[in-house]
């Protein structure tokens, strides 16, 4: 059977039904043949396009609101729709809470589910990177809003209806000077802290600890030249994970460094190009075969910090995690004594070597 619209035209409700908001729990039920507009099943938003017999298209919009108990047509848009308002308010609140939770969950040393923003900085370099990132975000937002305002003004004030006789102005010295000078000033404002941060990253202070990281397919080898120890660091397989270890990030042998000490990192590659990156330290530098690159960090908080190879290096590129444990100077000394016995390279003990099967 068919219902009738407000013009008295007979309309089959099954014609051209288009769902624009899927239900959250159950599938939208099909409209039975004997239903009309007054007996529609209460569900979610749906649009019904109804072709009239007089060749005019009359778009009827029916909102099926949970609990509302009424169906409203497109001509009732001006009336209040409490169900839809509650839905919109709920979605808005949920989005705000989700964004707030994401910012709060930007963890220290590791990625966090639903994280928004950068990881928390653990070094002075990373703190400056976060500040510069936020500074640029404000600059970009201001520029975007300014351009948007100009576009709105142009569309409203200079459209054909509001301004039927357009101006024939072709030059304006003041505007031309402004759109040249202002972008230059903006770029200078960005360049000053940018170069300051760049020099801060590249100027390596006197090191307290030196570590050489060698990228291999597909694991990292670390050596402490000053203490003559060297070891391989392989990802812990998922079946071997212990409580508290992170999947795809935990390793069997961690890099250990003292807190509040400058660590000089040398990087190179043994086969292909790799990249040594630890987000919370603000470091990312390529490890290139036949070349030594260098960077540094000074961790100001104890904890475990994770990174990964950030250069495509083959089939197991995703399985080259980096784990750095920052400890107190006393604990570092104790670890160093054990490491000298376990990973010595002075001939008293062979170097720990990774096996191909373990890497895979």
Computed from CA positions of residues 281, 284, 289, 294, in that sequence, does the dihedral angle turn out positive or negative? negative
Q: Given this model, what pLDDT does residue 314 score?
A: 92
**Which element (helix H / strand E) includes 258?**
strand 255-258
Distance CA 51, CA 210 (A): 77
Tokens of 53: 């017999």
Q: Mean pLDDT across the chain, nearest whole number?
A: 77
Q: Which residues contact 136 (CB under 8 A, 6 or more apart)?
A: 190
Q: What is the pLDDT of residues 253-283, one digit of tens each?
A: 999 999 999 999 999 999 999 999 999 999 9
Distance CA 83, CA 63 (A): 9
Q: Given this model, what pLDDT does residue 277 score?
A: 96
Separation of CA 254 from chain center: 26
- How many CB atoms are located within 10 Å of the residue 323 CB? 25
Tokens of 139: 């600059």
Distance CA 185, CA 287 (A): 37
Residues 254 and 304: beta-carbon distance below 8 Å: yes
pLDDT band at 108 (very low <50, low <70, confident <90, very high): confident
Burial of 251 (0-12, 13-18, 19+ CB in 10 A): buried
> What's the average model confidence in pLDDT over 5-22?
46
Coil, helix or strand at residue 38: coil
Percentage, residues of the chain above pLDDT 70:
66
Determine which of 106-120, 158-172, 212-226, 338-352 has the lowest per-residue pLDDT on average: 338-352
Q: What is the pLDDT of residues 142-163, one digit of tens each?
A: 999 999 999 999 999 988 888 8
Q: Given this model, what pLDDT does residue 97 score?
A: 55
Q: Given this model, what pLDDT does residue 168 score?
A: 84
Q: Give me the residues paired with residue 221 across strands.
A: 214, 232
Residues 87 and 68: beta-carbon distance below 8 Å: no
Task: Work out the angle at residue 236's Cα, subtended by the Cα atoms of residues 230 and 237, and round it to the nearest 5 degrees.
Answer: 145
CA separation (Å) from 241 to 39, 221, 244, 294, 303? 57, 21, 8, 32, 19
Residues 263 and 299: beta-carbon distance below 8 Å: yes
> What's the average model confidence in pLDDT over 87-112?
61
Question: How does DSSP assign 289-310, residue by residue?
Answer: BT--EEEEE---S-EEEEEEE-
First to last CA, the chain: 65
Asked if residue 13 has pLDDT above 50, the reply is no
Q: Given this model, what pLDDT does residue 54 score?
A: 38
Distance CA 127, CA 282 (A): 8
């Amino acid at each position: 059977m068919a219902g009738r619209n407000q013009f008295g035209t007979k309309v089959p409700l099954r014609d051209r039904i288009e769902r624009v908001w899927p239900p959250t729990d159950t599938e939208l039920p099909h409209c039975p043949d004997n239903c009309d507009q007054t007996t529609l099943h209460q569900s979610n938003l749906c649009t019904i396009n109804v072709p009239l017999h007089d060749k005019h298209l009359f778009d009827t919009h029916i909102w099926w609101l949970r609990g509302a108990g009424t169906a409203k047509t497109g001509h009732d848009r001006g009336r209040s729709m409490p169900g839809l308002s509650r839905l919109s308010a709920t979605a808005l609140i949920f989005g705000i809470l989700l964004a707030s939770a994401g910012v709060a969950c930007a963890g220290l040393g590791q990625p966090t589910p639903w994280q928004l923003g950068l990881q928390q900085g653990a070094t002075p370099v990373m703190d400056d990177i976060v500040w510069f990132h936020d500074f640029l975000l404000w600059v970009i937002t201001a520029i975007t809003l300014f351009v948007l305002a100009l576009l709105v003004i142009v569309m409203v004030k200079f459209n054909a209806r509001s301004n039927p006789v357009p101006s024939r102005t072709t030059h304006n010295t003041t505007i031309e000077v402004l759109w040249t000078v202002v972008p230059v000033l903006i770029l200078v404002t960005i360049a000053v802290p940018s170069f300051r941060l760049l020099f801060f990253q590249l100027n390596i202070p006197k090191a307290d600890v030196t570590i050489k990281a060698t990228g291999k397919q597909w694991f990292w080898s670390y050596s402490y030249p000053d203490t003559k120890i060297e070891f391989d660091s392989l990802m812990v397989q998922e079946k071997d994970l212990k409580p508290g270890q992170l999947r795809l990030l935990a390793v069997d042998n961690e890099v250990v460094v003292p807190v509040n000490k400058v660590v000089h990192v040398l990087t190179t590659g043994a086969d292909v190009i790799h990249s040594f990156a630890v987000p919370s330290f603000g470091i990312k530098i390529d490890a290139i075969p036949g070349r030594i690159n260098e960077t540094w960090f000074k961790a100001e908080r104890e904890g475990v910090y994770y990174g990964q190879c950030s250069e495509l290096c083959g089939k197991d590129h995703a399985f080259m995690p980096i784990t750095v444990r920052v400890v107190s100077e006393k604990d570092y000394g104790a670890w160093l004594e054990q490491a000298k016995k376990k990973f010595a390279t002075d001939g008293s003990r062979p170097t720990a070597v990774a096996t191909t099967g373990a890497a895979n």
